[in-house]
Amino acid sequence: MRRKLAAGNWKMNGLMEDLEQVRSICVAHTDPAVDLLICPPVTLVSGAVKVAQGHALQIGGQDCHALGAGAHTGDISASMLRDAGATAVILGHSERRADHDESSDDVRAKARAAHAAGLMAVICVGESLTQREAANTLDIIGGQLSSSVPDTATGENTVIAYEPCWAIGTGLTASPDQIGEVHDFIRARLERRFGAGVGRSVRLLYGGSVKPDNAALIFGVSNVDGALVGGASLKQADFTPIINALEGSIHI
């Protein structure tokens, strides 16, 4: 049984005062039936870890360097995130692939570093609108998966987030059929590469304009084990109904 996961990506949003939202999520979900993760900007990681102490909420980073330390101004290593109390890190988000030219090889090296530091890597894959319209979606996802996921992946240390680039922050959501097709494909690829044990234990998240009003529909799709949520994770009032919908999907 894969435990469901509701993960929030705050991107470059959040000041100290927003730790109040972290506190509210903890208070609203004292005994959640799903795993909860918030990935704030790195300036808030240790503050969020303190706020979440003693609660079920886990805190993660949004990126890490592939190396442990060195002359890399502005970067942060996986072990630094772990040292600050983070337990996970988002890697290969499409905004990092686009803004920082990150390749899938870069993402694989970072994921290996995350695993070595004891972090769970949330590895993102997703096609652009042009690629979808050219009917290349599964080829793109297959290529990103094989190059971005390291051989060190297990069900405990790796989560895959399918995030169609055209659905991120746009208000557009992939249809249940589109999501199901890609998630079933990812599951089959993982099983083929890692065997049934690991392949069936890695959790698959959908991301792309998940909101309180579409969450239940998305969580009813096969092989959807939760969501990576951007905008709607910034406020507890928006994130809570998504968490509730995920908890509700356990009994479907």
- Helix, strand, coil in percent for the chain, rounding step 5: 45, 15, 40
Tokens 């990812």 belong to which residue? 186
Q: Residue 196 corresponds to which amino acid?
A: A
Does position 60 interact with ligand PEP (CB under 6 A)? The reply is no
Among 95, 102, 163, 183, the one annotated catalytic: 163
Residue 231 within binding range of ligand PEP, rule CB under 6 A: yes
C-alpha angle with apex 62: 15 to 25, nearest 5 degrees?
A: 55
Nearer of residues 166 and 194 to ligand PEP, judged by Cβ: 166
Binding mask 159-178 toward ligand PEP (x if CB under 6 A, else -) reads ----x----xx---------
- Print burial letters for 79-92: b (CB count within 10 Å at least 16), e (below 16): bbbbebbbebbbbb
- Of the residues 65, 93, 115, 183, only one is catalytic, namely 93
Comparing CB distances to ligand PEP, the nearer of 7 and 194 is 7
Stretch that binds ligand PEP, among 48-56, 112-120, 138-146, 206-214 (CB under 6 A): 206-214
Closest alpha carbon to 174 in 134, 139, 128, 142? 128
Q: Minimum Å distance from CB 71 to ligand PEP?
A: 30
What amino acid is encoded at 136 in this protein? N
Q: Which is nearer to ligand PEP, 221 or 229 (CB)?
A: 229
Amino acid at site 135:
A
d(CA 230, CA 40): 10
Shorter beta-carbon distance to ligand PEP: residue 226 or 231 = 231
CB-based closest residue to ligand PEP: 230
156 in active site: no
29 has catalytic annotation: no
Among 230, 239, 243, 249, binds ligand PEP (CB under 6 A): 230
**CB atoms inside a 10 Å sphere around CB 146:** 12
- Cβ atoms of 203 and 5 within 8 Å: the answer is yes
Interface segment toward ligand PEP; rule CB under 6 A; list 23-31, 140-148, 150-158, 208-216: 208-216
Return the residues of window 27-56 that contact ligand PEP according to CB under 6 A.
none
Q: Which residues are catalytic?
A: 93, 163
